[in-house]
Amino acid sequence: MLWYHQFRKTEKGQAVVEMALILPILLMLLFGIIEFGRILNTYMIVTDISREAARRGAVGGADSEIRNTVRNLAADSGLDSILLPDGDIVITDPSSVKRARGTTLKVQVSYPVDIIAPVIGTLVGDPYIVKAQTTMRVE
């Protein structure tokens, strides 16, 4: 029994050392999951915005109406519409007049997601650009 107590005394800091080795890995995993969730949520919102904007253009909306639809939906969804300049809203087959029926209209929306976690931003890029594109036939 005496040798067990002597052995036990030498293991006093083992749990602290193991925690110090594992804690950074667990925190990185946790932060990665959180950031992935934020990016996925933003991607779903941007995809929905792209779809609604393409629909607006397919039923006869002009380019300015498409861009206003994107900005309004972004503001309604909680995204910062200031981060959506005209360069981040790409409309293929741009036409300020009525589009020809049966042609295709593509609307691509890009939105930057700021990465909050410390090391994750260096791995995926900060800001991470989320892009969504929708193609519809003009009615």
Nearest to 79 by CA among 132, 25, 136: 132
Q: Does the residue 22 lie in any domain? A: yes
> What is the mean predicted confidence (pLDDT) over 101-121?
89
Q: Does the residue 4 lie in any domain? A: no
pLDDT of residue 110: 93
- Asked if the bond preceding 112 is cis, omega within 30° of 0, the reply is no
Q: Does the residue 62 lie in any domain? A: yes
Q: Are 58 and 136 in contact (CB under 8 A)?
A: yes
Q: Does the residue 126 lie in any domain? A: yes
Nearest to 137 by CA among 105, 107, 108: 105
Q: Does the residue 8 lie in any domain? A: no
Residue 7, pLDDT > 60, answer no
Residue 6, pLDDT > 70, answer no
pLDDT of residue 46: 95
Most confident of 15-24, 83-92, 97-106, 117-126: 15-24
Cα(56)–Cα(60) distance, integer angstroms: 7
Q: Are 44 and 109 in contact (CB under 8 A)?
A: no
For the chain, the domain total comes to: 1
- Supply the range of the domain harboring residue 52: 13-137
Q: Does the residue 1 lie in any domain? A: no
pLDDT in tens, 40-62: 999 999 999 999 999 999 998 88
Residue 124 CB partners (closer than 8 Å, separation 6+): 35, 115
pTM: 0.80
The pair of three-digit structure tokens given for residue 67, joined into one six-digit string = 């861009």
Q: Does the residue 6 lie in any domain? A: no
Residue 125, pLDDT > 60, answer yes
